[in-house]
Amino acid sequence: MKALSQSNYIARTGVIAAAYAVCTLATMLFLGNLAWGPVQFRVSEALCALALFSPAAVPGLTLGCIIANAANIVLSGTGMLGMLDVVFGSLATFAGALFTWKLRRRPVLALLGPVLANALIVPAYLPIMLSGIGFYTIPFTSISLDGSWPLMYLFGLVTTGLGEAVIMYVLGLPLSRSLAQTPFFNREVAQAGAGGEKHTS
């Protein structure tokens, strides 16, 4: 029984990783810089809501982020600078997903985890990566923030945080509430020891 449970955990981790990676790559292909640039709306981040239901979502989302960010090195042409995103972007996803899992009994607060993690971590390295490929202009304007890391970080803190908040609360929260109504995810909550509380707050 224990072996079966472990295999289920691994399977769920793999499925979540694949789903996150595919959704992220699709976002990158169709939204381009809006998926990884100075203003971000990475739609796949809504899947962080899965961490409200299963601990397998934490490694699954992290692995999916690693795969997607590694693939983006080729898609965006960032070269080895893209490894910053592989390492630290995936760290942000891990921290956000872990926060969500730990506070799963309070979904609205729990979904703040990915928002804070991405807002604090991503802008710290993104200016370095983007400047390395000659890009750090505020989208839809001609205003360049190149050469001022504190200003770039502050700008990224606001824009990345707002973008992540939109994704988590406009897409992620409704997604979690819809999933909570299904028998499968209700069972997941019960097995995770969430005390039987519904994810509706």
What is the pLDDT averaged over residues 25-46? 78
Say if residues 114 and 168 touch (Cβ distance below 8 Å): yes
Number of domains present in the structure of the chain: 1
pLDDT given for residue 140 in this prediction: 59
> What is the residue range of 168's domain?
2-191
Residue 88 covered by a domain: yes
| CATH, residue 82 | 1.10.1760
Residue 198 covered by a domain: no
pLDDT given for residue 96 in this prediction: 97
- The mean of the pLDDT values for the chain is 83
Residue 45 covered by a domain: yes
Residue 150 has pLDDT above 90, yes or no: no
Residue 80 covered by a domain: yes
Residue 201 covered by a domain: no
Residue 196 covered by a domain: no
Percentage of residues of the chain with pLDDT beyond 70: 76
Residue 197 covered by a domain: no
Residue 97 covered by a domain: yes
Residues 6+ apart with CB under 8 A from 183: none
pLDDT given for residue 152 in this prediction: 80
DSSP, residue by residue, 7-50: HHHHHHHHHHHHHHHHHHHHHHHHHGGGGTSSS---GGGGGGGG
